[in-house]
């Protein structure tokens, strides 16, 4: 199980990386943490002509407050840093809650936020969190400079995203959590560290029965993170759990995986909704 041969390029600067991508486009694959790409190389599931290693771009490995008061995360920020960083804990507690669910310590040491977002595995934690937090994904290219895409419109389909072959995902921006922000992160996995059978990331502002915003994003059930819009709107409008559940069941069209049918995934999604309902501070209705 050895990779097919490829040309290795270590990006010396973002500009250098963008040049390589401009030249090779989809024939080049970007190597960030490598925790998904290297297995795919080993398995020969991908056989790129060029592997572009961006690990030397230390400028992409930072977590900082950005001008608008939110959080700016570089693409090379590792899962473990998100798990322990105080700024993340303060500004985006959802990420802090989700980080321990990602695989295992050895993978969290290497795996990166940008890699996870760029790959867009539908069962992964970061894409769902990014959509739940209404994150802005920043993409750069030699010709187009930098552009921003809302996470919700970034994920197009199974391992397909808004990123063009000549673009590098350089990071993502999050708004500062407000005084009445609450969140919930729930995941069901067969074994500790496995990809989610079903997961749910929720970010809300306001209070039960009177949410200004409420974003429910399921993962592990479709080709992308799935935002349960109707269900969220119902809850924001003060609906009870039963109505929210009905909305959810109507709008979800889960995709079966190896171990769970679509029906089971829908059932588990409803269960997670119930848990999130409580996490958000709604009264326990005993349902």
Partner 1 sequence: MESTTDIEFEVNGKRVRLAVSPREHLADVLRQRCGLTGTHLGCEHGVCGACTVRVDGAAIRGCLILAVQADGAQVRTIEGEGNDPVMQALQQAFIERNALQCGYCTPGFLLTAAELLELDPDPSRESIREYLSGNICRCTGYQAIVDAVELAARRLRGEAGTDASVP
Partner 2 sequence: MSSAPANRDGTDLRARAIGQSTVRAEARRFVTGAGAYVDDLPAHRLLHAAFLRSPVAHGTIVKLDLAPALRMEGVVAAYDGEALAPHCQPVRGLLAHLADMQAALQWPLARDRVRWVGEPVALVIAESRALAEDAAQAIAFEWAELPPLVDPRLALEPDAPRLHAELDSNLMFAATVATANVEQAFAQAGTVVELAMRTERVTAMALEPRGLLAQWDAAQHRLTVHMGTQVPWMMQAVFAGVLGIGCDQVRVVAADTGGSFGSKIHCYGDESAVAVAAKRLGRPVRYVADRLEAFVSDVHARGHEAVVRAAVDADGRLTAFEVDDLCGAGPFSIYPRGSVNESRHVLGLTGACYRATEYRARIRVAMQTMAIYGQYRGVGHPLACLFTEAAVDAAARQLGIDPLAFRRRNLVPDDAYPHRAPSGARFERLSLCACLDELARLMGYDRLRADQRERAADHERGAHQGVYRGIGLAVFVENSNHSSANYGRGGAPIASRDGAMVRLTQGGGIQCAVGLTDSGQGVTTAMAQIAADAVGASIVDIRVFMGDTEHTPVSGGNWGSRGTGISGEALWQAGIALRAQLVAAAAALHACSPDALELVDGTFLRRDDRACVCTLQALADAIYFRPERFPRGFQPEPAAQRHYAQTEYDGIYTNGASASWVEVDTRTGFIKVLGHWIVDDCGTVINPLLLDEQLRGAAVQGIGQALFEGCLYGNQGELRNATLADYLVPMAAEMPDIHVGHVTTPTATSALGAKGGAEAGITGALASVVNAINDALAPLGAQVLELPVTPERVLRAIGAIHDPAP
Residues that bind partner 2 (CB under 8 A): 1-5, 43-44, 188, 190-195, 197, 256, 258-264, 266-268, 271, 286
Which does residue 35 touch among partner 2, partner 1, none (CB within 5 to 8 A, set by kind)? partner 1
Residue 22 or 262 having the CB closest to partner 2: 262
Partner interacting with residue 267 (select from partner 2, partner 1, none; CB below 5-8 Å by kind): partner 2
Cα–Cα distance measured from residue 167 to residue 67, given in angstroms and rounded to the nearest whole number:
24
Residue matched to tokens 């977590």: 63
CB of residue 226 vs partner 1: minimum separation in angstroms? 26
Q: How far is the CB of 43 from partner 1 (least distance, A)?
A: 6
Closest approach of partner 1 to the CB of residue 88, in Å = 18
103 is in the binding site of which of partner 1, partner 2, none (Cβ under 5 to 8 A by kind)?
partner 1
Per-residue buried b or exposed e for 177-216, using 16+ beta carbons within 10 Å of the residue's own CB? beeebbbbbbbbeeeeebbbbbbbbbbbbbeeeebeebbb
Choose from partner 2, partner 1, none: what does 195 bind? Cβ within 5-8 Å by kind.
partner 2
Please state, in angstroms and as integers, the Cα–Cα distance from residue 9 to each residue in 20, 40, 76, 253, following that order. Answer: 8, 18, 17, 41
CB 185 within 8 A of CB 98: yes
CA nearest to 129, candidates 90, 94, 169, 181: 94
Which is closer to partner 1, CB of 38 or CB of 89?
A: 38
Residue 93 C-beta: closest distance to partner 2, Å: 24
Nearer to partner 1, 144 or 193 (CB): 193
Q: Of the two residues 25 and 193, which places its CB atom closer to partner 2 in the complex? A: 193
Q: Which is nearer to partner 2, 19 or 251 (CB)?
A: 251
208 contact choice in partner 2, partner 1, none (CB below 5 to 8 Å, kind-dependent)? none
* Best CA proximity match to 63, nearest among 80, 43, 49: 80
The answer to whether 270 and 249 are in contact (CB under 8 A) is yes
Contact between 52 and 7 under an 8 Å Cβ cutoff? The reply is: no
Residue holding tokens 């397909």? 160
The binding site for partner 1 (CB under 8 A) comprises: 1-8, 10, 31, 34-35, 38-39, 41-43, 51, 53, 55, 80, 103-107, 109-110, 191-193
């Amino acid at each position: 199980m050895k990779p097919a041969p490829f040309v290795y390029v270590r990006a010396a600067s973002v500009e250098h990386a963008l040049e390589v991508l401009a030249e090779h486009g989809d024939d080049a694959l970007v190597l960030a943490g490598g925790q998904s790409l290297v297995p795919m190389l080993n398995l020969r599931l991908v056989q790129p002509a060029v592997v572009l290693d961006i690990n030397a771009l230390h400028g992409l490995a930072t977590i900082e407050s950005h001008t608008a008061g939110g959080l700016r995360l570089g693409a090379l920020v590792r899962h473990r840093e998100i798990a322990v960083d105080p700024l993340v804990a303060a500004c985006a507690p959802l990420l802090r809650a989700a980080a321990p669910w990602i695989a295992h310590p050895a993978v969290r040491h290497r795996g990166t936020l940008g890699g996870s977002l760029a790959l867009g595995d539908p069962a992964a934690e970061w894409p769902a969190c990014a959509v739940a937090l209404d994150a802005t994904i920043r993409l750069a290219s030699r010709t187009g400079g930098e552009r921003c895409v809302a996470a919700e419109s970034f994920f197009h389909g199974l391992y397909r995203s808004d990123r063009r072959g000549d673009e590098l995902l350089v990071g993502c921006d999050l708004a500062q959590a407000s005084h009445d922000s609450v969140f919930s992160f729930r995941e069901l996995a067969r074994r500790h560290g496995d990809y989610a059978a079903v997961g749910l990331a929720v970010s809300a502002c306001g209070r039960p029965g009177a949410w200004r915003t409420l974003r429910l994003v399921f993962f592990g059930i479709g080709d992308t993170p799935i935002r349960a819009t109707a269900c969220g709107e119902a809850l924001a409008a003060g609906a009870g759990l039963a109505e929210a559940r009905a909305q959810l069941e109507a709008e979800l069209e889960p995709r079966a995986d190896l171990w769970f049918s679509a029906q089971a995934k829908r059932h588990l999604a409803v269960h997670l909704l119930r848990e999130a309902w409580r996490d958000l501070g709604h009264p326990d209705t005993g349902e």
